[in-house]
Amino acid sequence: MRINLKAVALACVSCFALGQAKAQELKTEVFSLLNLDYPGLEKVKTLHNEGKDADAAKALLDYYRARTDVKTPDVNLKNIKISKTEQQWADDALQHTFFVHKGYQPSFNYGEDIDWRYWPVKDNELRWQLHRHKWFTPMGKAYRVSGDEKYAEEWAKQYIDWIKKNPLVKIDKSEYEMADDKLKGDAENVRFAWRPLEVSNRLQDQTSQFQLFLPSPSFTPEFLTEFLVNYHKHAVHILGNYSDQGNHLLFEAQRMIYAGAFFPEFKDAQTWRKSGIDILNREINVQVYPDGGQFELDPHYHLAAINIFCKALRIADMNGFRGEFPQSYLDTVENMITFYMNVSFPDYTNPCFSDAKLTTKREMIKNYKDWHKLFPENKAILYFATEGKKGELPAYLSKGFLKSGFFVFRNSWGTDAAQMVVKAGPKGFWHCQPDNGTFELWFNGKKLFADSGSYVYAGKGEVMEWRNWFRQTRVHNTLTLNDKNLETTESVTKLWQPEGDVQVLVTENPGYKNLKHRRSVFFVDNAYFVIVDEAAGDAKGVVNLHFQMPKGKVANSREDMTFVTQFENGSNMKLQCFGPDGMTMKKEEGWLSTAYRKKVKRMNVSFNVRKDGEDAVRYITIIYPVKDSADAPEMSAKFKNKKFDENGLEIEVKVGGKKRTLKYTLQ
């Protein structure tokens, strides 16, 4: 059979041309997705029943343009503001230079004919987050502020282009989080474009974009039908593919509440809203320990979880369904805020444990202000919201969260505080690092011992190597065997005594086969810290005690195993480690990362002792915070109990000529 190739080619060209001209199609299936008996849709229903779908779509658009009873907390249409940065993202997007990730700047260009599969650096986040369309809402703001149609026209084009080039093909739910190369073509792309977390992100942000672009002539009746069908597909996709657990599930649930609340006209809207509310009500009890800590043991995700729970409350308040959240939900959120304010430092930053990044004071004051609206009776929240102008500080100083394993020693809530935050909890969820026993230390306006941070999440090759570097136990302020990562991360709190001249924490982690690490921290006279590390068990090898030094000049001596910072007057420290004979000291390259893909060099120090037999390896380390390093005292320390004792500890320290015994007995 002869095929007329020329004719086929011509036909294709013309259908391509037609496709270009009619980029937006009337999607008549929208009428079967909507509850046409919804108040206000009478005209839409009549026209649709008469077979006049084009007119019905027009009536539907009129309905949405006139609709006033649905609100979201994210945009205030009466007062639209655009920041310089957002304006830049909007303008760049006109050229298809898309702001995808703060860690990858300047932004990449995705081509005149947008290539949604472009993956210039093999970091999963870069490819996932492209599909969050972070520049769309800024384009909407730019459109509203300037009135320039070009933003709306381009947004509508990109929106349709995305639908056409990112078809939803079915893959196994587990494959969304996999980083292998098994999937090809559309399936491989779906892993990124349709990962439920990204889908939920669009579900939420498109409520803002919908409101911002709705008045534009580019927002045609045909476009509306495309938009609604696509939006509906998003919600259905999440409903069938909720993440199993963790913060992703929380994000997805909260955004399903958005979807259900924002488009009540969909037949499924009630189901979406209910599924989101049910999940949040269930997960708040699963993911948050009774002490208020979130189970990823990562201050950043803890904060994100608070804000997810609060966001759900705000949209409920605006649309009249607060009653669907019980009082216990509110109480838990309030506990989570109390947890966060305790582990945070006086400059409002959080420790960079696990995958946490540094927060800014500005961002946090905004958070406290938002939280104050939900918890107006909480005086401590008001205190932090107003930088102390109103409200009250908590009545206590040191505070432990025993289930989550976060312990805070502090002698003040002010900038002048000495504050140590110790992390020694149960096995944490995905973002948690194997760092049991580690700590951060703040003194008088500066962090002296900061966690190494996380730098990157996951991807291929070099990206994964860096992630693994920052996750290592040995780049924390804790103890390892042969510099290896902890095999078990299940700390048990043996003692927590947060008051008096000598405050004590005793925590134990069975870190390796036949080796447990008991760390006892004494906060003495509200002034300095004595850390006793005991590695007990049959295991043999080199026991390493690690400390990550602050960036800057740090004088040190192998003779007496001391490190003294040489910073300008204000915040310095002296660290001295007392270990068994034969203890060596090693200095290595260390890194500090407080933002994605940003890192600075520093010194990673370890004290090392070979463990040949059954005897425990024991160290005493004194960390003395001091304003002027010239004032750092002479220090010494020794064990009084000659061997590791399951039931207690007794040591003697001498600091600045003052001798004292530090001891405890376990019940």
Residue ranges that bind Mg ion, judged by CB under 5 A: 433, 451
Q: Which is nearer to Mg ion, 139 or 450 (CB)?
A: 450
Give the active site residue among 289, 301, 329, 512: 301
Nearest distance in Å: CB 599, Mg ion: 13
Nearest distance in Å: CB 104, Mg ion: 22
Q: Is the dihedral of CA 141, 212, 363, 467 positive or negative?
A: negative
What Rg value do the Cα atoms of the chain yield, rounded? 29
Nearest distance in Å: CB 327, Mg ion: 36
Q: Which is nearer to Mg ion, 158 or 433 (CB)?
A: 433
Nearest distance in Å: CB 351, Mg ion: 9
Q: From 635, 633, 641, select the one nearest 653 (Cα to Cα).
A: 635
Which position's Cβ is nearest Mg ion? 451
Q: How many CB atoms lie within 10 A of CB 240?
A: 10
C-alpha atoms less than 13 angstroms from C-alpha of 132 in its C-beta half-sphere: 15
Nearest distance in Å: CB 547, Mg ion: 14
Q: Which is nearer to Mg ion, 86 or 451 (CB)?
A: 451
Q: Helix (H, G, I), strand (E, B), or coil: what is residue 367?
A: helix
Q: Could you give the CA distance from residue 404 to residue 428 in angstroms, rounded to a whole number? A: 9
DSSP for residue 631: G
CB 356 within 8 A of CB 350: yes
> Any residues with CB less than 8 A from the CB of 460 and at least 6 apart, and which?
122, 123, 179
User: Is 301 a catalytic site residue?
Assistant: yes
Nearest distance in Å: CB 513, Mg ion: 23
CB 522 within 8 A of CB 503: yes
CB 97 within 8 A of CB 115: no
Strand segments (E) across 458-527 = 479-481, 492-497, 502-512, 515-524
Nearest distance in Å: CB 661, Mg ion: 34
**Range list of H helices, 81-148:** 84-94, 124-130, 136-146
Q: Could you give the CA distance from residue 550 to residue 572 in angstroms, rounded to a whole number? A: 10
Q: Helix (H, G, I), strand (E, B), or coil: what is residue 150?
A: helix
One-letter identity of residue 407: F
Q: Rounded to whole angstroms, what are the CA distances from 92 to 81, 84, 96, 98, 195?
A: 18, 12, 6, 7, 25
DSSP for residue 184: -
Nearest distance in Å: CB 438, Mg ion: 7
CB 411 within 8 A of CB 443: no
Instruction: Find out whether the peptide bond into 106 is cis, omega within 30 degrees of 0.
Output: yes
Active-site amino acid positions? 301
